[in-house]
């Protein structure tokens, strides 16, 4: 809806990846579910394209050039604060004040966020905290994957499908955005992780 290049890329990539995994891993598949997953991409491309202007996103992607963008330079110069403060980082919310001292002359814009949450967490929180946060997310991703493969109740694979798609999309988004720096987005992401665990561990009561 925002015509964001990476947001739309992450959405369609996560939908495609999760759709393929669903077709391969869900044990108790009905014909209707198979048809739905197989046509999900085409249906969503048509709907999103007609409602929100997919052509505008396509044009923005085609016009994107590394020569015009400076985010890749931010990633390169952002390694310096990590090397200087690898364990404890520079402190939460300090990117805007710590980055100007290490950026090169070709970066004229002011960056209050790194536009790469992996980099920003490593700079502000240090490598150990960043790795622990990443481990928690990847562990939740693994739980969703296992639930998609093993759970047979009709509800639980759907829950794991939704959690898997949300986590994959977020992992892609974090490469060029600062989603988890916004409290509202971070709080909304936590239930996605919780759904993955619930789909994997929830006990199902059998009828009768």
Q: What is the DSSP string of 153-171?
A: SSHHHHHHHHHHHHHHHHH
Sole residue written with tokens 């669903």: 22
Tell me whether residue 33 is in a domain. Answer: no
CA distance 9 to 193: 21
pLDDT at 108: 79
Task: Answer for the pair 60, 7: CB distance below 8 angstroms, yes or no.
Answer: no
Sole residue written with tokens 């562990």: 139
Tell me whether residue 92 is in a domain. Answer: yes
109: domain range?
A: 67-125
Tell me whether residue 188 is in a domain. Answer: no
Tell me whether residue 100 is in a domain. Answer: yes
Q: Report whether pLDDT(208) > 70.
A: no
Task: Answer for the pair 83, 54: CB distance below 8 angstroms, yes or no.
Answer: no
Q: How many separate domains does the chain show?
A: 1
Confidence of residue 63 (pLDDT cuts 50, 70, 90): low
CA distance 162 to 64: 30
- Higher-scoring residue by pLDDT: 102, 60: 102
Tell me whether residue 132 is in a domain. Answer: no
The pTM for the full model equals 0.82
Tell me whether residue 162 is in a domain. Answer: no
Express each pLDDT in 65-120 by its tens digit: 444 556 778 888 889 999 999 999 999 889 988 888 888 888 877 888 888 999 99
């Amino acid at each position: 809806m925002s015509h964001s290049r990476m947001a739309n890329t992450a959405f369609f990539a996560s939908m495609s990846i999760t759709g393929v995994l669903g077709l391969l891993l869900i044990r108790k598949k009905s014909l209707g579910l198979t048809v739905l997953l197989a046509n999900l991409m085409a249906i969503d491309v048509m709907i999103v394209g007609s409602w929100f202007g997919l052509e505008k996103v396509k044009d923005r992607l085609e016009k994107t050039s590394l020569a015009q963008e400076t985010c890749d330079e931010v990633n390169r110069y952002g390694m310096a604060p990590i090397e200087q403060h690898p364990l404890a980082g520079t402190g939460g919310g300090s990117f805007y004040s710590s980055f100007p001292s290490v950026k090169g002359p070709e970066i004229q814009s002011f960056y209050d966020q790194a536009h790469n949450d992996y980099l920003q967490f490593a700079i502000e929180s240090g490598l150990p905290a960043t790795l622990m946060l990443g481990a928690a997310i990847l562990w939740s991703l693994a739980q969703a994957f296992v639930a998609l493969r093993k759970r047979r109740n009709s509800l639980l694979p759907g829950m794991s499908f939704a959690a898997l798609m949300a986590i994959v999309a977020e992992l892609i988004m974090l490469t060029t955005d600062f989603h988890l720096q916004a409290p509202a987005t971070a709080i909304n992401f936590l239930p996605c992780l919780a759904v993955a665990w619930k789909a994997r561990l929830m006990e199902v009561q059998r009828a009768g």
